């Protein structure tokens, strides 16, 4: 017979498993789009509050990076999708190890990732984005040398996280058009 208190414990464990399924990308084990948006919106709302409340909740600045692996289709075409999946897994792991504990990393879709830099000044956010770009180019990931293109935005008067993500995505495409393996900042 199961004790009433243990039923609650079992239910809580099941809820945690379900949250993991709902919010984490199964391949890369980072937040999926839904998980990123849920947590990112909470951070953004805290950031948008007045200055006094911002200090109280601990979020004084934000920056968002939209990142895409350059020429990923060529990797899949040349080496196959299993190798492409390894690239995605290892890049996600590399990004998690390189980013700060306070940063939020998510897989947006395909070979695109989003990163919310919490409490990073504009100068610090630019350093982080450049570091990611340079380290990725110098590091073998799944046995391959990759490059990434990044769009970095420092929110000013944008009213939603979706607007910020869209702007960072456009900046990333500018980086691709300008030769890839670079960061474009707004």
pLDDT digits (tens, 9 = 90+) for 50-96: 555 555 567 788 999 999 999 999 999 999 999 999 999 999 999 99
Mean pLDDT of 135-143: 95
> Higher confidence at residue 45 or residue 67?
67
Instruction: Please state the pTM of the whole predicted model.
Output: 0.87
CB-based burial label for 63 (10 Å; 0-12, 13-18, 19+): buried
Mean pLDDT of 99-107: 95
Confidence label for 104 from pLDDT (cuts 50, 70 and 90): very high
In the chain the domains, ranked by start, together with CATH numbers, are 24-185 (3.30.70.270)
Mean pLDDT of 1-30: 76
Q: Which two tokens stand for residue 130?
A: 């450049």
- In the residue annotation, 111 being an active-site residue is answered as yes
Please report the pLDDT score of residue 142 as a whole number.
Answer: 95
Which phi-psi region, left, alpha or beta, contains residue 109 (left: φ > 0; alpha: ψ -120 to 50)?
A: left
Of all residues in the chain, the percent with pLDDT exceeding 70 is 90
Q: Which two tokens stand for residue 25?
A: 């990308």
> Higher confidence at residue 146 or residue 21?
146
- pLDDT at residue 49 greater than cutoff 90: no
Q: Half-sphere exposure (CA, 13 Å, Cβ side) for 57?
A: 17
- pLDDT at residue 144 greater than cutoff 70: yes
**What distance in Å separates the CA atoms of residue 128 and residue 56, rounded to the nearest whole number?**
25
Q: Which of 14, 38, 49, 111 is catalytic?
A: 111
Across all residues in the chain, what is the average pLDDT? 90
- pLDDT at residue 176 greater than cutoff 80: yes
> Higher confidence at residue 58 or residue 114?
114
């Amino acid at each position: 017979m199961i004790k009433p208190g243990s039923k609650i414990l079992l239910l809580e464990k099941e809820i945690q498993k379900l949250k993991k399924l709902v919010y984490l990308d199964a391949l890369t084990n980072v937040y999926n789009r839904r998980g990123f948006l849920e947590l990112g919106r909470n951070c953004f709302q805290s950031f948008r509050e007045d200055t006094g409340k911002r200090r109280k909740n601990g979020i004084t600045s934000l920056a968002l990076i939209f990142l895409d692996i350059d020429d990923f289709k060529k990797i899949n075409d040349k080496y196959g999708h299993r190798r492409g999946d390894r690239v995605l897994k290892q890049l996600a792991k590399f990004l998690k190890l390189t980013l700060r504990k306070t940063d939020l990393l998510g897989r947006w879709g395909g070979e695109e990732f989003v990163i919310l830099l919490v409490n990073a000044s504009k100068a610090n956010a630019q350093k982080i984005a450049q570091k990611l770009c340079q380290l990725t180019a110098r590091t073998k990931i799944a046995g391959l040398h990759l490059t990434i293109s990044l769009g970095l935005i420092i929110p000013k008067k944008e009213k939603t996280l979706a607007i910020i993500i869209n702007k960072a995505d456009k900046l990333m495409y500018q980086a691709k058009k300008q030769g890839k393996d670079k960061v474009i900042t707004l």
